[in-house]
Amino acid sequence: MTQMPRIQHIDSLRGVAVLLMVMVHAAATWNPFNSPEPSILAYAISGLGGLAAPLFVTLFGWGLLRSNLSGKQRIFQSFFLFTMQILVNLTSPHLFEPFTPGVLSLMALLTLILPPFSDSFRNLGLRPLIGLSLVVGLIQFSFPEVQGTGRWADRVAAGSASTIVSNLFVSGTYPLFPWGLFAILGITISMNGVNRGANVPFTTTIRYAVGFGLMFCIVSFIVSQANDVLWAHPTADAYLTFFPANGPFLIAGVTGVMLIWFMLQSANLTLFNNAGKLSLTIYIIHFIPLTLMRNFEAIYGWGLNVSALVVLTYTLIWIPISALWITYYPRANIESLIKSIRNSLF
């Protein structure tokens, strides 16, 4: 199989996405922003963290359209990602059950579902994204209960086959509905940039869409403050919720992803490239230290400042680690392993 050339800003985006995922999980482990009084710092960290998974899934959709895998290769890659999800769960027993669906199982499902429609996506332009957005909004408005409760225990439950299937498709942490929307966004970006070296033009349509998203976020934030209601929260009653991913969160997520994409596309950064080349590897292994150190906050009595510093340090340390890894062990990673097995078998 021909090796596609790497695109610098895509590696940077992948690096940013996985570092934000690390930050989210580190913050959840050591909980540095568990304060009754919201702060600008807490909102900034929460806002960036809330874009981690949307960016991660969008980039996966972008790459999926360009991967050009055969049917057998897609089946193998899907099986591999499902297996990696179980491995992640086993390394984090305090968070997940062994068969809890997550972001890797979502990617495994998308690997099977989306490529057969790639030709249709190429011919229809923005219409699949717009159509899916309308369908998601209609279902969320008409049947809000379909995505389940905001209780973490319910979203990671895996006590029966029916529960696993439900959490994989609609009621888990990263179910196909509505998170497939971000993969379709990635496919749409991929189609628009296919003849431009992956650079996406900032067209009038995109300007209006991003402008609407920014205005929506600003207005909803002002209204939430005026009504003394939480603006954004992972699970509590708020205007934007992550579990489940409600409509306002999806609007904010798409807007944030597009802004980050255009900023890194325009910049000439290489700081995050190595982390981007190892994004899947970092995502899988970063849970291990977190599991081993999950009680450090309580044991050592960390306050807000110490916890925040530890979260920031744990996130940024993956930048030099990835640089050293690429330099000395360039093929000793999960990305190379999956490509090697896939290409040798099929």
Encode pLDDT of 237-260 as tens digits: 888 988 899 999 999 999 999 999
Q: Which residues of 258-288 are buried (b: 16+ CB within 10 A; e: fewer)?
A: bebbbebbeeeeeebbbbbbbbbbbbbbbbe
Predicted local confidence at residue 131, as pLDDT = 80
pLDDT the model gives residue 36: 46
Confidence (pLDDT) at 37: 47
Q: Tens digits of per-residue pLDDT, 83-104?
A: 999 999 999 988 899 999 999 9
- What is the rounded distance in angstroms from the CA atom of residue 233 to the CA atom of residue 267? 31
Model-level pTM? 0.90
pLDDT of residue 328: 96
Q: What pLDDT was estimated at residue 2? A: 43
Q: Are 345 and 76 in contact (CB under 8 A)?
A: yes
Cα separation values, 72 from 66, 68, 82, 140, 311, Å: 16, 12, 15, 35, 40
Which pLDDT belongs to residue 198? 58
pLDDT per position as a tens digit, 41-93:
666 666 778 899 999 999 999 988 788 888 888 999 999 999 999 999 999 98
Among residues 100, 219, 110, 80, which one has the least CA distance to residue 168? Answer: 100
Spatial CA neighbour of 181 closest among 138, 130, 252: 130
Residues of the chain predicted below pLDDT 50:
1-2, 36-37, 195
**What pLDDT does 287 receive?**
94
Pairing of strands 232-233, 240-241: parallel
Express the helix, strand and coil content of the chain in percent, nearest 5 each: 70, 0, 30
User: How many Å apart are CA 258 and CA 265, to the nearest integer?
Assistant: 10
Distance, in Å, from the CA atom of 185 to the CA atom of 111, rounded to the nearest integer, reads 15
> In Å, how far are 92, 106, 200, 284, 334 from 86, measured between CA atoms?
10, 12, 35, 10, 15
Sequence-ordered strand ranges (E) for 196-288: 232-233, 240-241
